[in-house]
Amino acid sequence: MNKKTGMIFAMGAAFFYGVSTITGKMAYVGGGNAVTISFYRQLLSIPILFLILKMAKISLKVTKRELIGLVLLGLLGGFITGALLYMSYEFISVGLSSCIHFAYPVILACIYAFIFKEKFSKTKVLALALGFGGMWFFLDSNVTINLIGILAALMSALTYAFYLIVMDKWGLKSMNGFKLSFYCCIFSGISLYTFGLFKGYNFTGVTSSGAWVWILGTSLLISVLGNTMIPVAVNNVGPTVTGIIGILEPVVSVIMGVLLLGESFGISNIVGAILVLGAGILLALEKGDIIKKVPV
CA neighbor of 171 nearest in space, from 231, 111, 123: 231
CA distance 127 to 281: 9
How confident is the model over 162-184, as pLDDT tens digits? Answer: 999 999 999 899 999 999 999 99
Give residue 225's pLDDT.
96
Domain ranges, residue 61: 3-293
Query: Within the chain, which residues score under 70 in pLDDT?
Result: 1, 29-32, 140-144, 205-208, 263, 287-296
Provide the sign of the torsion angle of the four alpha carbons 246, 251, 254, 257, taken in this order: negative
C-beta of residue 267 within 8 angstroms of C-beta of residue 35: no
Give residue 140's pLDDT.
65
Split into its structural domains, the chain has a count of 1
Give residue 8's pLDDT.
94
